[in-house]
């Protein structure tokens, strides 16, 4: 390998930190943290679903929106995270709330192992490759007795060891912690020099590489972070339902849903996935009684949004009122150190 | 010798673009690489920067064969390129584009202030998106970004592409200032007069082979025209 000259910078980095977004997020987190004290179990379950989808959407947005890798196989990491939680909890008796993080780690390990093969693929081929990965795991689990084959697994026996009053609220607090962690992680990652490099990879890989960006390293780190977060979110999602089967867990509908919420909310922004998830749940809770019409309505909304609001709901609001709660660019300054 | 290329062969899949190219460049000198469209000029630069992996031959930079190195390793060794068509990062501001030049973490001689001194108009646009600027200003950002990587060897691919003559003149005048600091330069141009005037020596490339070489002083227009267009 070549000799890389010693770094000797005459400058230090100073990053302006707009505080509106982080303060709003911190206040919302404090409010949400005490919500289980007065919220009903049904509402908590819904909140768990919302937060799990928010984490998944942020992770997909980091990968597709900021780095330019459109994955349609996020269900691979959702499933591995969820199965990781179920299998470790059932087999070892580990507290399922702690096992959420093991689910995330399992997904990250699969990400590490699959990255060398997936990174050989570009554009639509990468997207298809991720889908193939998900299908591969679905078939393996479908044919493995230990993972419950097609009948799936239930957490009913494990969950009985946890006091009734903490069953839903425990999941809720883990989900809340991970949601806040995800947003801060993505935000600070994108506001660093690493974040600039991430965006150059999306803009033009060849130019990025020729100015000294190690694009393979950037892709790898982003992919693993995305896999870990998606795995944790998958684990939360199925901890919430306490039942898992390979058909639903590894379904491509997960990726379709992620693409829907991120595009509707505003791809390539931190606020977008938030808005998109809230908008999706609003539609679901108000229209789901209409049966098949609900699915058609979702499709029509998606088409209308892409035609008339291509930058998503947040893009529209941000442009109209010139606000940016979590700015990820144009604020880097240098000062002599 | 800062750069020595021996028997270089390269291509894109089954299409060969370079057929045994030989080249040498002294430290601190400027070389013009001239040739028609598709002659292999840009391919040669892409080989030097590692964007194309050669299929044969050697690229000796500082006596080290860098033919198999990755682009970011080559950047870290002090080779920078101003790509054809500027290729600024559209989602980054002017300043962020410039800062990206420092990704290779080389010891810093070039700073933002120095680049702004070289290209004063950029200072006023530092917070604007790079792609919102005029072609000439974008070219300044592209040159500035390359300089921010503190190169010993700068490769400029078609600097004049799509620019007004007065802007081209300005850019070349600036490059002349920069080369006085000891920077070595390879200029790829279709504008023969511009390229040769800015260089110590020149090479004419046709169909992937060097067909003529010379110095600025002995450049013969008839010979160059013959080499450029072939029979």
ipTM of the complex: 0.82
Which 3 state secondary structure label does DSSP give A298?
Answer: helix
Pairs of CB atoms within 8 A across A/B = 111
| Chain B contact present for A10, CB below 8 A | yes
Q: What is the predicted pLDDT for the residue at B231?
A: 67
Q: What would the pLDDT profile of B59-77 be if each residue is shown by its tens digit?
A: 999 999 999 999 999 999 9
What is the structure's pLDDT at B18?
Answer: 95
Q: What's the mean pLDDT in B10-22? A: 93
Is residue B52 predicted with pLDDT exceeding 80? yes
- Residue A265 forms part of a structural domain: no
CB A75 within 8 A of CB A258: no
What would the mean pLDDT of A57-64 be, rounded to a whole number?
A: 96
Confidence of residue B102 (pLDDT cuts 50, 70, 90): confident
In this complex, the residue of A2, A7, A10 whose CB is nearest that of residue B73 is: A2
Q: Is the pLDDT of residue A5 over 70?
A: no
Confidence of residue A212 (pLDDT cuts 50, 70, 90): confident
Domain for residue A261, yes or no?
no
Asked if the Cβ–Cβ distance from A332 to B101 is below 8 Å, we say no
Instruction: Give the dihedral sign, CA B225/B227/B229/B231.
Output: positive
Q: How confident is the model at residue A3 (pLDDT cuts 50, 70, 90)?
A: very low
Number of domains observed in the structure of chain A: 1
Query: Is there a domain that residue A32 lies in?
Result: yes
Contact flag B89-A214 (C-beta cutoff 8 Å)? no
Instruction: Answer yes or no: is A219 within a domain.
Output: yes
Q: Is A259 helix (H, G, I), strand (E, B) or coil?
A: helix
Q: Is B49 on the interface with A (CB under 8 A)?
A: yes
Write down the H helix ranges in A64-123: 74-92, 96-118
Q: Which residue has the higher pLDDT, B109 or A178?
A: A178
Residue of chain A nearest B100, judged by CA positions: A211
Question: A5 and B71 in contact by Cβ < 8 A?
Answer: no
pLDDT of residue A18: 64
pLDDT digits (tens, 9 = 90+) for A106-134: 999 999 999 999 999 988 999 999 999 99
**pLDDT at residue B11, rounded to an integer:** 93
Flag whether A106 is in a domain: yes
Find chain A residues with C-beta within 8 A of B138's C-beta.
Answer: none
Residue A202 lies in a domain: yes
Q: Which of A7, A8, A212 to mutate to test the interface with B (most CBs of B within 10 A)?
A: A212
C-alpha A273/C-alpha A243 separation (Å) is: 26
Q: According to the 3-state scheme, what is the secondary structure of chain B?
A: CCEEEEEEEEEECCEEEEEEEEEEECCCCEEEEECCCCCCHHHHHHHHCCCCCCCEEEEEECCEECCCCCHHHHHHCCEEEECCCCCCCCCCEHHHHHHHHHHHCCCCCCCHHHHHHHCHHHHHCCCCEHHHCCHHHHHHHHHHHHHCCCCCEEEEECCCCCCCHHHHHHHHHHHHHHHCCCCEEEEEECCHHHHHHCCCEEEEEECCEEEEEEECCCCCHHHHHHHHHCC
Q: Residue A193 and residue B99: Cβ atoms within 8 Å?
A: yes
Share of chain B above pLDDT 70, in %: 100
Question: Counting Cβ atoms within 10 Å, is residue B114 exposed (0-12), middle (13-18) or buried (19+)?
Answer: middle
| Chain A residues with beta carbon closer than 8 angstroms to that of B101 | 211-212
Chain A touched by B99 (CB under 8 Å): yes
Taking an 8 Å cut-off on Cβ atoms, the answer to whether A199 and B51 are in contact is no
- Per CB-CB distance under 8 Å, the chain A contacts of B111 are 10-11
Q: Which H or E run includes A94?
A: none
Subunit contact A206:B74, Cβ cutoff 8 A: no
d(CA B149, CA A153): 55
Rounded distance between C-alpha atoms, residue B108 and residue B116, angstroms:
15
Q: Residue A293, Cβ neighbours under 10 Å: how many? A: 12
Q: Contact B96/A206, CB-based, under 8 Å?
A: no
Q: What is the pLDDT of residues A182-203, one digit of tens each?
A: 999 999 898 888 888 999 999 9
CA-angle at B67, arms to B62 and B70, nearest 5°: 100
Burial readout A163-183 (b: 16 or more C-beta within 10 A, e: otherwise): eeeebbbbbbbbbbbbbbebb
Determine whether B149 is exposed, middle or buried from the number of CB atoms within 10 Å of its CB (0-12, 13-18, 19+).
buried
Domain extents for chain B?
A: 3-229
- Which of A11, A204, A211 is facing B75, going by the closest CB pair? A211
The pLDDT of residue A329 is 60
Q: What confidence tens digit (pLDDT) does each residue in A76-116 have?
A: 999 999 999 999 999 998 999 999 999 999 999 999 999 99
Residue A64 within a domain: yes
Q: How far apart are CA A56 and CA A60, in angstroms?
A: 6
Q: Do the chains contact at B100 and A3, CB–CB below 8 Å?
A: no
Quote the domain boundaries for residue A63: 11-251
Residue carrying the six token digits 């702004």: B116
Name the residue among B129, B126, B100 with its Cα closest to residue A196: B100
Question: Is A303 part of any domain?
Answer: no
B75: left (phi over 0), alpha (psi -120 to 50) or beta: alpha
Q: What tokens does A9 get?
A: 């910078």
* Rounded Cα gap, residues A68 and A219, in angstroms: 10
**Which class is domain B3-229?**
alpha beta
Across B155-159, average pLDDT: 91
Contacts of A246 (CB under 8 A, 6+ apart): A79, A138, A141, A142, A147, A150, A152
């Amino acid at each position: 390998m070549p000799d890389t000259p010693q770094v000797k910078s005459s400058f230090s980095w100073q990053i302006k930190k707009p505080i509106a977004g982080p303060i709003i997020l911190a206040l919302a987190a404090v409010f949400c943290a005490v919500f289980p004290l007065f919220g009903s179990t049904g509402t908590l379950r819904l909140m768990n679903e919302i937060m799990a989808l928010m984490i998944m959407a942020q992770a997909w947005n980091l990968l597709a929106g900021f780095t330019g890798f459109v994955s349609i196989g996020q269900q691979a990491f959702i499933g591995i995270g969820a199965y990781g939680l179920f299998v470790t909890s059932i087999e070892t008796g580990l507290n399922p709330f702690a096992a959420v993080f093991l689910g995330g780690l399992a997904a990250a390990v699969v990400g590490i192992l699959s990255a060398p093969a997936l990174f050989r693929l570009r554009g639509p081929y990468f997207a298809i490759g991720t889908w193939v990965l998900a299908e591969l795991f679905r078939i393996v689990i479908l044919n493995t007795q230990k993972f419950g084959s097609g009948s799936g697994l239930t957490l009913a026996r494990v969950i009985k060891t946890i006091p009734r009053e903490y069953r839903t609220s425990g999941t809720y607090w883990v989900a809340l912690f991970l949601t806040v962690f995800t947003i801060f992680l993505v935000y600070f990652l994108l506001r660093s020099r690493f974040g600039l490099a991430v965006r150059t990879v999306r803009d033009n890989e060849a130019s990025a590489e020729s100015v000294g960006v190690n694009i393979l390293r950037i892709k790898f780190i982003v992919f693993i972070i995305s896999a870990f977060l998606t795995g944790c979110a998958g684990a939360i999602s199925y901890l919430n339902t306490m039942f898992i089967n390979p058909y639903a867990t590894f379904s491509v509908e997960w990726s379709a849903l992620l693409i829907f919420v991120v595009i509707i909310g505003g791809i390539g922004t931190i606020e977008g996935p938030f808005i998109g998830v809230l908008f999706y749940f609003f539609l679901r809770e108000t229209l789901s009684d209409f049966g098949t019409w609900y699915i058609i309505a979702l499709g029509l909304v998606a088409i209308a949004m892409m035609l008339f609001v291509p930058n998503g709901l947040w893009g529209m609001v941000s442009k109209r009122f010139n606000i940016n709660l979590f700015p990820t660019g144009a604020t880097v300054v240098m000062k002599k150190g | 010798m800062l750069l020595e290329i021996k028997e270089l062969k390269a291509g894109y899949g089954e299409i060969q673009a370079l057929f045994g190219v030989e080249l040498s460049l002294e430290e601190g000198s400027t070389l013009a690489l001239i040739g028609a469209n598709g002659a292999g000029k840009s391919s040669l630069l892409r080989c030097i920067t590692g964007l194309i992996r050669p299929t044969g031959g050697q690229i000796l930079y500082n006596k080290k064969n860098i033919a198999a190195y990755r682009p970011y390793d080559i950047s870290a060794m002090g080779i920078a390129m101003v790509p054809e068509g500027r290729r600024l990062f559209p989602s980054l501001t002017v300043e962020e584009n410039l800062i990206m030049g420092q990704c290779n973490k080389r010891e810093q001689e070039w700073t933002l202030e120095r680049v702004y001194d070289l290209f004063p108009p950029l200072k006023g646009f530092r917070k604007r998106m790079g792609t919102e600027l005029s072609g000439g200003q974008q070219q300044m950002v592209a040159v500035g970004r390359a300089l921010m990587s503190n190169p010993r060897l700068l490769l400029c691919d078609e600097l004049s592409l799509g620019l007004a003559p007065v802007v081209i003149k300005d850019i070349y005048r600036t490059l002349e200032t920069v080369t006085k600091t000891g920077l070595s330069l390879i200029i790829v141009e279709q504008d023969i007069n511009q390229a040769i005037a800015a260089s110590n020596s020149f090479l004419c490339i046709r169909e992937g082979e060097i067909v003529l070489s010379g110095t600025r002083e002995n450049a013969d227009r008839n010979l160059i025209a013959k080499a450029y267009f072939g029979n």
